[in-house]
Amino acid sequence: MKTAPGHTWFKLRQDRVGLLGLAIVAVFFLLSLGVLFGWLGQGWSVADGGRWEPASVNHWLGTNLLGQDIFQRAVFSTRTAFEIGLVVSLLSTLLGALLGALAGWYNGKPGQSWVDGSILWLMGVLDSIPFYLFVAAVAYALQGWPWAMHVAMIATFWTTTGRLVRAEVMRIKSREFVLSARTIGLPSPLILFRHVLPNTQHILLVQATIVFVAAIKTEVILSFLGLGVQDGVSWGLMLAESTQEVLAGHFNNFLAASLMLFVLLLGFNLLADALQDAFDPRQASL
Amino acid sequence: MRSILHKTIHGLFLILGVTFISFLLMVWFGPDQTYTLIGKNATASQITEIRHQLGYDQPFTRRYLDYLVELFTLDLGASNSSGEPVSSILKRTLPVSLALMLPGFIIGNLLGIALGLVAAFRRGTWSDRLITGLSVTGMSISFLIIIIALQVLLSTPYGLNLFPARGWQVDGLSSYLAYVTVPTLSLIMVTLGYNTRFYRAVFVEESSREHIRTARAFGASPATLMWRHVLKNSLVPVTTRLMFSIPLVVISGSLLIETYFGIPGIGKVSFDAITSGDQPVLKAVVGLTAVAFVLIQIMADVIYRLVDPRIA
């Protein structure tokens, strides 16, 4: 069950750990905006240092194999992370909301329940293909196209959101306000998208933050496997570089990327928990 | 009985779906294999012949049916890069992957269940808060970071240097333990946070039910409560969790762990097939794992009926 928006915000403000998460996310978001507007991290690809220089005034966190500044690269990667996270979480949440709502709406409608059946089938199919292999298959089919990773993530991450929205729509559509909307003769699409779907926004918001975390974590693995970010730099690519360096005792790349990644993910996880608690009193009491 | 039949039909449709998607991606939209196989300077008749062998002159449905037949007869062709039959590659690498992934998968889930039970029963106390806090921390660390950190700490001169840094030269129990320890610890660390959190939520939900309160009122000891009343009644979500984490944890995990540590299992084979564009291997691995997972789901339904008489 959903609580009123004012109450949600009130509960969120009471949750200190959740606010800490929100603050972390906000700081990283500002960093990524700084990179986007060209104020920060612009020297990420300039190789003006020696190989594996230690930290110095010129290179705050030292340099990598090619003599590139690790600090600049770590900061620039914030933008890459937000780009991937936002694109994937927005589109997969949208897709999940749309298909989940349609499935829930047509569930049990005589003559039209095939809509529900096919969407459920699609979710089952997508959930049955092991994820990294699916990405590999998409990357293989799309050969070197830089958005292959995004497409693969969006195509698989929407199913959880879809299932949750479907269940919620099935619950909402028997409520009185939907019945009255139907009685006064509003067309089905209007009822579904204007009156039912907005009532699932609490699910969408929480799922979007969860998918954001999943997208960033997945990017790291895919970039290490060579299926992820094709050009530019990301924490995943930095970690992939560092896998060779740590064996030779150079830890700067590894430490910079993992620390940034860890703090941002922790922030998002804390925020997701706080949102969940604030929206859903039943879960919060667990 | 009828519902098992129903589930099987449902499963068949899922199998059609997953094979169709892997066919679309790997075979239909996949890159043209003609020149990989015969080189650049081929005559027109050679090209027609190889295209015929590959089935490129066949219509869509015919090629999809051929792919299905290949998967079900396990007649999967030979690898483009080594020429070894795909079925023999699978036979060679599958046991390695199982030996590598199973210990971590089992221990990770058992520990998750144990910690989840403790946290659920001491809900709201400092031990619950500690366990949930550590779970969220664990969930925020990337798999790759855990692997690199553990490798540096346990198998390089910069740390304790106790285990071999990479590879898989197993010829007995002691060498098995030497090579499996670091991957197993990584797998446990990366899954424990998610497992604990999930199991805690399941157990909390179950222990807030009426029958638990009744049992407590009748004086059941905490151990009896946990074991007989909470754990046993939560078997269905626990089994679902185990089933669904097989493709996620075991297969995806083996891809990363085996690539990182250079272990010749199914994950390494798939990774090599991805990088070299070895289509026969790739389409076999994707198709077969997806089919295997659907079969596991059908089995899970049968198991539910065995463990839980409430599902009729």
**B176, B167 in Cβ contact below 8 A?**
no
Determine the pLDDT at residue A50. 72
B197 to chain A nearest CA, in Å?
Answer: 11
pTM for the full predicted model: 0.86
Residues of A within 8 A of B144 (CB-CB) are 220-221, 224, 236, 239-240, 243
3-state secondary structure chain B: CHHHHHHHHHHHHHHHHHHHHHHHHHHHCCCCCHHHHHCCCCCHHHHHHHHHHHCCCCCHHHHHHHHHHHHHHCCCCECCCCCCEHHHHHHHHHHHHHHHHHHHHHHHHHHHHHHHHHHHHCCCCHHHHHHHHHHHHHHCCCHHHHHHHHHHHHHCCCCCCCCCCCCCCCCCHHHHHHHHHHHHHHHHHHHHHHHHHHHHHHHHHHHCCHHHHHHHHCCCCHHHHHHHHHHHHHHHHHHHHHHHHHHHHHHHHHHHHHHHHCCCCHHHHHHHHHHHCCHHHHHHHHHHHHHHHHHHHHHHHHHHHHHCCCCC
Residues of A within 8 A of B293 (CB-CB) are 128-130
**B101, B187 in Cβ contact below 8 A?**
yes
Name every residue whose Cβ is closer than 8 Å to that of residue A51 and which is 6 or more positions away in sequence: A63, A65, A66, A67
CB contact under 8 A, B144 and A221: yes
Facing residue for B271 by CB, picked from A122, A137, A225: A225
CA distance A23 to A145: 35
| Of A126 and B166, more confident | A126
Question: How far, CA to CA in Å, does A276 sit from each of A172, A183, A267, B261?
Answer: 19, 34, 14, 38
Token output for B120 = 């659920």
Domain ranges of chain A: 4-40+71-283
Tell me which DSSP letter residue A4 carries.
Answer: -
- Flag whether pLDDT at A281 surpasses 60: no
- Flag whether pLDDT at A14 surpasses 90: no
Q: Which of A126, A128, A159, A247 to mutate to test the interface with B (most CBs of B within 10 A)?
A: A128
CB contact under 8 A, A128 and B14: yes
CB contact under 8 A, B30 and A140: yes
The mean per-residue pLDDT over the stretch A106-124 comes to 88
Question: How far, CA to CA in Å, does A154 sit from each of A144, A160, B28, B141, B199?
Answer: 18, 11, 21, 22, 27
For the four alpha carbons of B157, B161, B167 and B172, in that order, the dihedral sign comes to positive
Q: How many interchain CB pairs under 8 A, A with B?
A: 151
Token output for A67 = 């003599």
CB contact under 8 A, A128 and B142: no
Tell me which DSSP letter residue A108 carries.
Answer: T
A195 to chain B nearest CA, in Å?
Answer: 31
CA distance B192 to A130: 20
- In chain A, whose CA is at the least distance from the CA of B13? A121
- In chain A, whose CA is at the least distance from the CA of B190? A217
Q: Helices A16-36 and A5-14 meet at what angle, rounded to 10? A: 100
Q: How confident is the model at residue A4 (pLDDT cuts 50, 70, 90)?
A: low
Token output for B95 = 């046991």
Name every residue whose Cβ is closer than 8 Å to that of residue B281 and which is 6 or more positions away in sequence: B79, B80, B86, B89, B269, B270, B272, B273
Q: Which of A125, A138, A276 to mutate to test the interface with B (most CBs of B within 10 A)?
A: A125
Name every residue whose Cβ is closer than 8 Å to that of residue B225 and which is 6 or more positions away in sequence: B121, B207, B212, B215, B216
Neighbours of B244 (CB within 10 A): 16
Residues of A within 8 A of B255 (CB-CB) are 132-133, 225
User: How far out from the chain centre does Cα A38 lie?
Assistant: 24
The gap between the terminal CA atoms of chain A, to the nearest Å, is 14
**B51, B34 in Cβ contact below 8 A?**
yes
Nearest to B104 by CA among B170, B175, B38, B181: B181
- In chain A, whose CA is at the least distance from the CA of B283? A137
- Flag whether pLDDT at A283 surpasses 60: no
The mean per-residue pLDDT over the stretch A93-120 comes to 91
- In chain A, whose CA is at the least distance from the CA of B165? A247
- In chain B, whose CA is at the least distance from the CA of A236? B144
A208 to chain B nearest CA, in Å?
Answer: 16
Facing residue for B252 by CB, picked from A131, A141, A220: A131
Determine the pLDDT at residue A1. 47
Nearest to A71 by CA among A33, A31, A36: A31
Touching check for B243 and chain A: CB below 8 Å? no
Q: Which of A133, A159, A217, A237 to mutate to test the interface with B (most CBs of B within 10 A)?
A: A133
CB contact under 8 A, A141 and B29: yes
**B201, A286 in Cβ contact below 8 A?**
yes
- In chain A, whose CA is at the least distance from the CA of B161? A247
Residues of A within 8 A of B29 (CB-CB) are 141-142
Touching check for B191 and chain A: CB below 8 Å? no
Residue ranges of alpha helices (H) inside chain A are 5-14, 16-36, 70-106, 113-128, 131-142, 148-172, 176-183, 188-190, 201-225, 235-245, 252-279, 281-284
Residues of B within 8 A of A242 (CB-CB) are 148
| Of A10 and A202, more confident | A202
Determine the pLDDT at residue B306. 77
Residues of B within 8 A of A134 (CB-CB) are 286
**A104, A168 in Cβ contact below 8 A?**
yes
A257 to chain B nearest CA, in Å?
Answer: 9
Question: Looking at chain A, how many residues does it have?
Answer: 286
Determine the pLDDT at residue A284. 43
B161: left (phi over 0), alpha (psi -120 to 50) or beta: left
CA distance B150 to B261: 12
CA distance A7 to A95: 28
Determine the pLDDT at residue A286. 40
Those of residues 59-78 in B touching chain A at CB distance below 8 A are none
**B189, B175 in Cβ contact below 8 A?**
no
Token output for A86 = 């936002």
A183 to chain B nearest CA, in Å?
Answer: 36
Question: How far, CA to CA in Å, does A1 sit from each of A167, A176, A278?
Answer: 12, 15, 11
Touching check for B274 and chain A: CB below 8 Å? yes
CATH of domain A4-40+71-283: 1.10.3720.10
CB contact under 8 A, B201 and A286: yes
Provide Rg for chain B, Cα atoms.
24
ipTM: 0.82
Between vectors from CA B5 to CA B1 and to CA B11, what angle results, nearest 5°? Answer: 140
What tens-digit pLDDT sequence spans chain B (312 residues)?
A: 677 788 788 888 888 888 888 888 877 776 666 666 666 677 777 777 777 777 777 778 888 888 888 888 887 888 877 888 988 998 999 899 999 999 999 999 999 999 999 998 888 899 999 999 999 999 999 999 999 999 989 988 888 888 888 888 888 888 999 999 999 999 999 999 999 999 999 998 888 888 888 888 888 887 788 888 888 888 888 888 888 787 667 778 888 999 999 999 998 998 888 877 788 888 888 888 878 888 887 887 787 777 777 765
Most confident of A54-68, A129-143, B116-130: B116-130
The mean per-residue pLDDT over the stretch A203-221 comes to 91
CB contact under 8 A, A124 and B17: yes
CA distance B264 to B168: 7
Touching check for B136 and chain A: CB below 8 Å? yes
Q: How confident is the model at residue A73 (pLDDT cuts 50, 70, 90)?
A: confident
